[in-house]
Structure 1
Amino acid sequence: MSKIKIAFDKRSSNTTKDNKYPLVLRLSHKRKTRDIPFNIHLREDQYNFETKKITGILNAVKHTKRTLKIYSNVDLWVDEHEGEIKNWDIARLKREIEQRFFNIAPSRTILSYGAVYLNRLRLEKRFSTADSYEDALKLLVKFKKSLKGQDDTEKIKTLYEIKDGKMQCLDEFKDWDMEIKAMDYGFVRDFKAYMSNRYESKNTPNIYLRSLQAIMNDAGNTFEDLSNHKPLSKIKKKSHANAPSPLDLDDIDRIRNLRLKPDTPIWHNHNYMLFMFNNMGMNFFDIGLIKRFQFEDNRIKYFRKKTHYEGDYFNINQNDEALEIINHYLNGQKPDDYLFPIIPNGTTPERLHLVNKARVKSFNKYAAQIAKLAGVTKKITTYTMRDTWTNIGLDMGIDIRKISSGLGHSSVQVTEKHYSQSISEKILDEINAKITGHS
C-alpha cells in the first residue's frame, strides 16, 4: 500500500548553511521512497509534525495552508486510486503527483517529445517512418544503458504504449529519458562513436542521427527556449553511397533456367525475383502491395510506395515472362485482394511495413539459396534486381534520363548519386579505349 507523509530531507547535500532542511512530501511505495519538495527550507523547530503547522517564517500561515492542502488532496487521491496505483512503479507515482498537485509540467525530454512526434507520424499513416524514428530512440536508450555499465544488447520491442489515444513512454524506459537540452555536442558526438563501433555500415549512425535531429528540430519549432538548441548541426551526417553489386545477363539467364518445385517458398521467391527484374527493378514492397485491379490489359499500374507522396505513377506493359508469372497467381481474387501472396489480405496499415520487413528477410534468405543453385557468386537481396536493371541499361548505352525515369528518381542527379561508381567506370573505360585505341 502506498503511503505519504510530510518530512524533512536531511541529506547533507540539501541542508543549508544555517541548518535548514527542505520540507518534502515523502512517498513510500513498493519498499521505495521518493521526495517531492514544497520549496520551503525550515529549521526543525519551525515545523510541528503533529499539527502540520509552520511557524517562525514570513507568510507562515499561507505556507501552512498550502502544504496541508496538498497533503490532504494527495492522501485522498492515493486512497481513491489504490487499485490502479498498486500496478505502478514509484517513478510513475511521483510524476503523477507532481503533475496533478504540484503543477510541475512534464519535462521536455527526448522520449516524451518523441512520443508526440511519432504519434503525429502515425496519424499521417507514415508508419514506416515512425518505426524508423523509434529505432533511433531505442538505440539512444541502449547508449544511456551502456554509459551506466548495464546490458545494452537486450532487444527493445517498443518504447511506447497507446493510452487514451496518445502515445506514452513505457514506465520501464522513463529512467533512461533525458532533457533535450542535456543533449549537447559532446553527448551526441559520443553517441555517434558508440553507433559507429556497433554497426559496420557507415550510413546507419547517420540515419539515426538524422532521425533524432528531426525530432529535436520539431521540438525547437514548438518550444521557444529550444529553438536555438541544435547540437546535431555540427555533427556530419552525410550519406555514403553504397556501391551496387548488380548481376549481368548471364547471371539472370542462369536464374531463369532454374527448375524448382512449384508452390514451394523458394519457387515463389524465384518468381518475385524475376518479376522485379522484368518491371524495371520494382521494389519488393511495391510487388507485395499490387492488387488484382491494378493488373489490366497486360499492364501493371501502381504508385511507388517510397515516393507516392511525389506522385510517382507507373504503367508498365508486362512481357511474356512477367505474364507467365502473373498467371500463376490469378485464382479469382476480388479486385481489392493482393495479386501476389506476399502480404495477407486484411493486413492493417499499421502492420503493413512490419509484415514487409519479415517478408524481405525471408526473400533474402531464399535469394541466397537461389544464387547458390544458379551458380551466381554475387550476393542477391531485394535491391539487386533494381541495380541489375539499371546497370544493364547503362551498359546498353540507354540515356540515363530514361533510366532515371524508370527508377522513379526525382532527378537525374539522384540516379547519378546512387550509381556514380558504375557511371564513372563506364565513362573512364570509354575514354581509355578511345585514347589507347583498344576497345
Structure 2
Amino acid sequence: MATIKITFDKRASNTTKDNKFMLVLCINHNRKTRYIPFNLHLKENQYDFRTGKITGILNSVRHTKRTQKTFSDVDLWIDEHEGEIRRWDMDRLKSEIEQCFFKKSPSRTILNYGGVYLHRLRMEQRFSTASSYEDALKALIKFRKKLKGQDDTMLIKTLYEVKENGLFPLENFKDLDMEIKSIDYSFLKDFKAYMSNRYKSKNTPAMHLRSLQAIMNDAGKAFEDLKDHRPLSNFKKQSHENAPAPIELSDIHKIRKLELEPDTPIWHNRNYLLFMFNNMGMNFFDVAILKWFQFEDNRIKYFRKKTHYEGDYFSVLQNEESLNIIRHYLKDQKDEDYLFPIIPPNTTPERLHKVNNGKVKIFNKYANKIAALAGISKKITTYTLRDTWTNIGLDMGIDIRKISSGLGHSSVQVTEKHYGKSVTEKILDEINAKITES
C-alpha cells in the first residue's frame, strides 16, 4: 500500500545557502520514493514533525493549516482508492496527487506517452505497428527541429531507450518534446504542410497523422484532462489509393515457362511469386513467416499478419504447382521451422519486420528481372500478385463478395474502394461494346 509523510528534502540541489531545506510530501509506493514540494524552505527547527506545526516564518499558522490539510486529504484519498492505486506505477500516483491536491498541471508529453503506447505494442509483439508509430513521432520531432532552426535532415534511428519496464525518451530529444495539449489544429496544419513538402509519397502525411491520432486518443482514455482534446477529429487525413497495377494471366504463364537455373536467387523468387499468386495474392510477409506446421492435408492455414487481430484466418487448398514448390523445400524441418528460406531462423520477433522489409526489396528486384526475361513491360512488386489475382477473378465474373472474402477485406466496400475503377471500366467497356456493335 502507498504511504505518505511530511519531511525535508535534504539533497544539495534543494538546499539554500543559509541551510534551509525544502519541505516536501514524501510518497512511498512499490518500493520507490518520490517528493512533492510544498514550496517552503525551512530550517530544521522551524518544523515540528510530532505536531506538524510550522514556526518562525511569516504566515506560519496559515502554512501549518495548508500542509496539514493537504496531508490529511491525500492520506484519505489513498485509503479510499487503495485497490486502484495498487495497480499504478509510482509516476502515475505522483502525477495524480500533484494534479488533485497541488493544483499542478500534469505533464502529458507526446514523447512520454508515445513511449507508453509503443511499449504496449511491443509487449503484444506488434513490432511493425510500433515502428510505424515511432516514424510518425520522428517526423514530429524533425518538424520541431525545423521550427527551432535546427538541422531536420539528420537521420533519427530511434527516439527511445528500451528498458525492461518501458520505453523512455532519449535525453537529446527531451527539449523537442511537447505537451499533448499544445498540439492544436493550427500546429497540425503546419505539420501536415511540412510533411507534404518533405515526403515524396502523398500517403505518408496521412499515415503519420493517423498514428499520432491513435496515440493521442489513447492518452485521452488514460487521463481525464485529455479526454476532450481531439485536435485531429475534424482533420482531413485521407489516403490516396494506389491504383492497382495487375499483370495478365498470360503473363503469369510466361513466368511459369521461364527456363531458370534451379536453386539460384532468381529461381527461388520465381517460386515465391507463383506461390503468392496461387494463394489468392498472399502477402509477402505472410509467405515469409509461414511455418511447416501450417502446411497440413495439402492446405496452408494462416492468419493474415496485417489483420490477424481482426481474426482473418485462411485455409487454402494448394494446387499442384504450389505443392511442387513446397516439396522442393522439404528437408527434415521441424514444425516450427520456416516453410521457405526467406527469414533467417534465429531472427527475433522484434527484428522480424525490419528483416522482412529488406527481403521485400530483394524480391521486388528479382521480380522485375523475371518480368524483363518474360517480356512483361509492367513493373512487378509484392502487391502485383494480389492485384492480378483480383483482376483475373473480376474478369471471370466471380462475385465481388467472394473476391473480397479471399482478399481478407473487412467489407465489400473496402474492395470496391480499391478496385472500383477496374470494375467500372469493365462494366462500361462491356456496355459500350454492346451499344456500338449493334
TM range (shorter): 0.7 to 0.9
For the structure 1 residues 108 and 430, does the alpha-carbon distance in structure 2 shift closer, same or farther, using more than 3 Å as the test? same
* Aligned-CA RMSD value: 3.2
Q: Which residue of 1 aligns with 2:200?
A: 200
Q: Is residue 377 from structure 1 mapped to residue 377 from structure 2 by the alignment?
A: yes
Most deviating of 301-310 and 424-433:
301-310
Q: How does 1:75-86 map to 2 (within 5 A)?
A: none
Q: Which residue of 2 aligns with 1:132?
A: 132
Which deviations, in whole Å up to 9, do the C-alpha atoms of 1:30-60 show, x marking residues without a partner?
xxxxxxx99689xxxxx99xxxxx9985449
Residue type of the partner of 1:140?
Answer: L
SS at match of 1:352: helix
Q: Which residue of 2 aligns with 1:292?
A: 292
For the structure 1 residues 164 and 323, does the alpha-carbon distance in structure 2 shift closer, same or farther, using more than 3 Å as the test? closer
Q: Is residue 431 from structure 1 mapped to residue 422 from structure 2 by the alignment?
A: no
Q: Which residue of 1 aligns with 2:4?
A: none
- Aligned-pair CA distance for 1:187: 0.5
SS at match of 1:234: coil
Which deviations, in whole Å up to 9, do the C-alpha atoms of 1:383-417 show, x marking residues without a partner?
11000010011111111122112111222111111
In 2: Cα distance, 1:393 partner to 1:184 partner = 46
Q: Which residue of 2 aligns with 1:397?
A: 397
Q: Which residue of 2 aligns with 1:51?
A: none
Q: Which residue of 2 aligns with 1:326?
A: 326
In 2: Cα distance, 1:268 partner to 1:106 partner = 56
Q: Which residue of 2 aligns with 1:209?
A: 209
Residue type of the partner of 1:380?
Answer: I
Q: Is residue 252 from structure 1 mapped to residue 277 from structure 2 by the alignment?
A: no
Q: Which residue of 2 aligns with 1:182?
A: 182
Which deviations, in whole Å up to 9, do the C-alpha atoms of 1:176-234 show, x marking residues without a partner?
10011111111000111111112232221111101101111111122222112111122
Which deviations, in whole Å up to 9, do the C-alpha atoms of 1:60-116 show, x marking residues without a partner?
9979xx9xxxxxxxxxxxxxxxxxxxxxxxxxxxx9xx99xx998872100001011
SS at match of 1:232: coil
Q: How does 1:411-426 map to 2 (within 5 A)?
A: 411-426=411-426
Q: How does 1:19-418 map to 2 (within 5 A)?
A: 58-59=59-60, 107-418=107-418
For the structure 1 residues 58 and 370, does the alpha-carbon distance in structure 2 shift closer, same or farther, using more than 3 Å as the test? same
In 1: Cα distance, 2:63 partner to 2:414 partner = 68
Which deviations, in whole Å up to 9, do the C-alpha atoms of 1:316-351 show, x marking residues without a partner?
222222122112211111111111011222432222
- Aligned-pair CA distance for 1:281: 0.4
In 2: Cα distance, 1:358 partner to 1:335 partner = 25
For the structure 1 residues 164 and 348, does the alpha-carbon distance in structure 2 shift closer, same or farther, using more than 3 Å as the test? closer
For the structure 1 residues 172 and 105, does the alpha-carbon distance in structure 2 shift closer, same or farther, using more than 3 Å as the test? farther
- Aligned-pair CA distance for 1:419: 0.6
- Aligned-pair CA distance for 1:7: 7.6
SS at match of 1:301: strand
What runs of 5+ residues in structure 2 fail to find an aligned partner? 1-10, 23-36, 44-54, 68-90
In 1: Cα distance, 2:239 partner to 2:396 partner = 29
Residue type of the partner of 2:407?
Answer: L
Percent of aligned pairs sharing the same letter: 68
Residue type of the partner of 1:263?
Answer: D
Residue type of the partner of 1:226?
Answer: L
- Aligned-pair CA distance for 1:312: 2.0
SS at match of 1:231: coil
Residue type of the partner of 2:386?
Answer: R
Q: How many residues align?
A: 369
In 1: Cα distance, 2:16 partner to 2:141 partner = 34
What is the TM-score normalised by the length of structure 2? 0.76
What runs of 5+ residues in structure 1 fail to find an aligned partner? 9-22, 25-36, 42-46, 49-53, 67-94
In 1: Cα distance, 2:182 partner to 2:129 partner = 25
- Aligned-pair CA distance for 1:149: 2.4
In 2: Cα distance, 1:302 partner to 1:238 partner = 31
Most deviating of 159-168 and 419-428:
159-168
